[in-house]
Amino acid sequence: MQNVFLLIEHANKVIYDYFGVASSFDILICRGTWEMEVQVVARKEGSNLSLPAGAKLVGITDYRLREIVIRFDAAKFGHYLHELIHSIISKSLPHQLREGLAWYFTYKLTEKHRYAMAWPPYWVEELYVNPVRRLAKMVGGNDNDDDFLKDLATGKATIEYALLPEDIADLFLPEELFYAKKRYGK
């Protein structure tokens, strides 16, 4: 457990150094798959938590309860970092944009330490991360400067998303419309 506390402390420090804010969410540590499944089921009732069927989760962030639930038997530093980034992203942003931004910044903050990286399923890359990468290029994000995206993520900036290419603009749609559009096409 001491190692887990050190990982969480270090991840929060990395986030604070990069974004200027730290997480205030509670963190629940699970020992394995069964405990994680129990926590997920308990949080789905009355929650906005949406999970793909059969998802093998290492961590989840519940915005309503302001909690992070994570499996220490499977989590690497990148998983802790990813969930803590979720907790500082503005809750006013749609789920798919929060997910894309959280993965984008997780990659960004662990790119020099690939062994610490958490890897999402391929469909997360396609649906969320690739459009955020394109947005980053459009708004001037580069290796050293993601100030606008940081401000967008933390609720300090807005963007006229209707003027953006469709795949990027879709990230700003209400969650139900985003997934319906992806499921049934244009």
Most confident stretch, 40-44, 120-124, 139-143: 120-124
pLDDT of residue 103: 95
pLDDT of residue 52: 52
Specify whether the CB–CB gap between 39 and 69 falls below 8 A.
yes
Spatial distance between the Cα atoms of 105 and 40, rounded to a whole number of angstroms: 24
pLDDT of residue 185: 73
Q: What percent of the chain has pLDDT over 90?
A: 55
Overall average pLDDT of the 155-161 stretch: 93
- Tens digits of residue pLDDT in 8-56: 999 999 999 999 999 999 998 988 887 887 777 776 665 555 555 545 6
DSSP 106-149: HHHHHTT-GGG-----HHHIIIIIHHHHHHHHHTT--SS--HHH
Residue 135 pLDDT > 80: yes
Specify whether the CB–CB gap between 58 and 75 falls below 8 A.
yes
pLDDT of residue 97: 96
Query: Virtual CA dihedral for 10, 101, 129, 122, nearest 10 degrees?
Result: 50
Q: Degrees (nearest 5) of the Cα angle 6, 10, 16?
A: 145
Residue 94 pLDDT > 80: yes
